[in-house]
C-alpha cells in the first residue's frame, strides 16, 4: 500500500466521520430544535450549514487526490510502499502523527470558526432577540484559545511528522 493510497482511505474515513458526527446531528437539530422558538431564520441557517458540510464531505470523498496534493501528505516518506508485514516503529509513528494531526485539525477547525463567528456576532450584533442574538451567547474565551492551540498543534504535527518519528524511533 502506497502512502497516497493510505491517505485516500484515511480521508474517506474522516469524511464519513464528518457525515456521522456533523451532518446527522445538524439534521436532527433542524427537526428537534431545543431551547429556541421556531424560527425560519434559524432553520435556513442550519440548512445552509448542512448543505455546506454535505458538499465538503462529498468533495473529500470524490477528490482525495487534490487534498493529498495540497497538503503534500504523501511526501517525505522514505519508502514508496507501506509493508505492513514488516512494520518498523518509525513508519508507524510517522503515520500515526499524520493521522493525529489531521484528526486534531478536523476536530478543532469547526469549533474555532464557530467561536470566532459567535464572538464577532456577540460584539457587533445589534439584534437583541432570536436564537443567534448576542444576549443568548455566552462567550467561552478559554475554549476558543484551547481549540486554536489544537489547530496550531495539528498543523505542527503534520508538518514535523518525519522529525517526530526520527526522534522516537
- In whole angstroms, give the CA distance from residue 87 to residue 60: 28
- Average pLDDT of the chain is 76
- Do 66 and 108 lie in a common domain? no
Name the domain boundary from 39, 71, 103.
Answer: 71
Record the cell numbers describing residue 79, joined without a space: 519508502
Longest dimension (CA), the chain: 63
CA-based angle 96:100:101, to the nearest 5?
A: 120
Segment 111-132 mean pLDDT: 68
Q: What is the pTM of this model?
A: 0.50
Same domain for 63 and 101?
A: no
Last residue of a domain, one of 15, 45, 71: 71
Report pLDDT for 106: 85
Amino acid at each position: 500500500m502506497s502512502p497516497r493510497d493510505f491517505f485516500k482511505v484515511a480521508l474517506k474515513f474522516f469524511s464519513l466521520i464528518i457525515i456521522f458526527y456533523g451532518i446527522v446531528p445538524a439534521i436532527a437539530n433542524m427537526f428537534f430544535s431545543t431551547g429556541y422558538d421556531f424560527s425560519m431564520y434559524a432553520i435556513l441557517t442550519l440548512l445552509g450549514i448542512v448543505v455546506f458540510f454535505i458538499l465538503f464531505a462529498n468533495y473529500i470523498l470524490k477528490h482525495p487526490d487534490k487534498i493529498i496534493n495540497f497538503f503534500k501528505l504523501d511526501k517525505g516518506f522514505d519508502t514508496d510502499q507501506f509493508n505492513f508485514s514488516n512494520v518498523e516503529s518509525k513508519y508507524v509513528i510517522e503515520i500515526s502523527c499524520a493521522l493525529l494531526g489531521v484528526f486534531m485539525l478536523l476536530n478543532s477547525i469547526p469549533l474555532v470558526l464557530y467561536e470566532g463567528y459567535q464572538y464577532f456576532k456577540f460584539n457587533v450584533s445589534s439584534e437583541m432577540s432570536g436564537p443567534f442574538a448576542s444576549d443568548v451567547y455566552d462567550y467561552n474565551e478559554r475554549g476558543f484559545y484551547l481549540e486554536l492551540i489544537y489547530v496550531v498543534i495539528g498543523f505542527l504535527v503534520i508538518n514535523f511528522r518525519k522529525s517526530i518519528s526520527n526522534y522516537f524511533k
